[in-house]
């Protein structure tokens, strides 16, 4: 008889991850299962190596929980079925594959052929996207707020205040498959493997995962008010029609370099003080 191991992230869903993971248990009613704190597992590779042949795993959390899995475990060696049950606040991965929270999603096929981002000499796989600019800034501010309060984080509000008052645009050099382009007054320069991030933003609506290519979006060239007025259109993907301030560049290898350090996020996980990143398929 199969045993289900339900891995929950206690910090997801505004620190209600364990109670939210009860929804996964309700979907396997009658099956043997146990709950394990995902963050308490110090050696995640050893944990997966020790699974029995018939064990099945349900990972509960947000995009960051998947990111930890693909970077701390050699997913190519996993033979057990690994499911995902979304209990995060944004759940962009689920949205990007056309699913809804509240269902079990078999993850194994999504581990294949993931892109890698290199930041400060270290490689990270990612399943959704890499954000650089004000999106990274929003994650940085959100992380700081989480340390001070348990209240839900309003990232849209952070972005608006950032554009108006706190975040200063940068100059950027973007290289895609060897072709170099330069941009001034850049607000956003994410590279996407999926279609959405940031709680439902669609920076590269035509990007398709699983094809060995990524898409970089550059949001640039305008002042605060015009940039802010156009910003909501990213949530529908209609911003791509603004060719005077948006460029989409697609390829296998992407390098983005800013002229000053800004925060960067990988599937919602923040890295501070970054000047460049490189995305490739290894």
> Do 64 and 268 contact (CB within 8 A), yes or no?
yes
Torsion of CA 119, 66, 102, 95, to 10 degrees: 30
Does residue 147 have a pLDDT over 80?
no
Does residue 157 have a pLDDT over 80?
no
- Reported as a pLDDT band with limits 50, 70 and 90, residue 173 is very high
Span 125-140, pLDDT tens digits? 999 999 998 888 887 8
Half-sphere exposure of 59 (CA within 13 A, CB side): 25
- What pLDDT score was predicted for residue 30? 81
Domains along the sequence of the chain with CATH:
3-112 (3.40.50.10330), 117-280 (2.60.200.40)
Cα distances (angstroms) measured from residue 137 to each of 92, 119, 156, 168, 181: 18, 16, 12, 10, 23
- What pLDDT score was predicted for residue 93? 94
pTM for this structure? 0.90
Does residue 153 have a pLDDT over 70?
no
Cβ-based neighbour number of residue 280 at 10 Å: 15
What does the alpha-carbon distance between residue 4 and residue 40 come to, in Å, rounded to a whole number? 18
Span 217-266, pLDDT tens digits? 999 998 888 888 888 899 899 999 999 999 999 999 999 999 999 999 99
- Reported as a pLDDT band with limits 50, 70 and 90, residue 14 is low
Read off the pLDDT of each residue in 59-76 and give the average, rounded to a whole number: 93
What does the alpha-carbon distance between residue 88 and residue 61 come to, in Å, rounded to a whole number? 5
Read off the pLDDT of each residue in 147-164 and give the average, rounded to a whole number: 74
């Amino acid at each position: 008889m199969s045993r289900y191991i339900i891995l929950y992230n206690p910090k997801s869903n505004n620190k209600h991850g364990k109670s939210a993971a009860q929804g996964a248990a309700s979907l396997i009613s009658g099956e043997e299962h146990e709950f394990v704190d995902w963050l308490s597992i110090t050696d995640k590779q050893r944990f997966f190596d020790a699974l029995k042949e018939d064990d099945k795993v349900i990972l509960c959390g947000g995009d960051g929980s998947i990111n930890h899995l693909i970077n701390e475990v050699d997913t190519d060696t996993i033979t057990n079925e690994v499911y995902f049950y979304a209990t995060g606040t944004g759940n962009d991965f689920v949205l990007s594959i056309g699913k809804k929270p509240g269902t079990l999603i078999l993850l194994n096929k999504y581990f294949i052929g993931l892109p890698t981002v290199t930041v400060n000499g270290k490689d990270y796989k990612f399943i959704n996207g890499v954000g650089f600019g004000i999106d990274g800034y929003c994650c940085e501010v959100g992380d700081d707020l989480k340390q001070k309060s348990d209240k839900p984080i309003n990232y849209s509000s952070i972005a608006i205040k950032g554009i108006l008052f706190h975040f200063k645009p940068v100059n950027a050099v973007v290289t895609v498959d060897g072709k170099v382009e330069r941009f001034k007054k850049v607000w956003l320069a994410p590279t996407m493997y999926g279609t959405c991030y940031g709680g439902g933003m669609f920076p590269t609506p035509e990007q398709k995962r699983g094809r060995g290519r990524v898409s970089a979006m550059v949001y640039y060239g305008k002042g605060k008010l015009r940039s802010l007025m156009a910003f909501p259109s990213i949530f529908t993907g209609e911003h791509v029609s603004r060719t005077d301030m948006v460029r989409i560049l697609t390829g296998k290898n992407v390098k983005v370099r800013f002229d000053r350090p800004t925060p960067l996020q990988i599937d919602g996980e923040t890295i501070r003080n970054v000047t460049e990143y490189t995305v490739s398929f290894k």
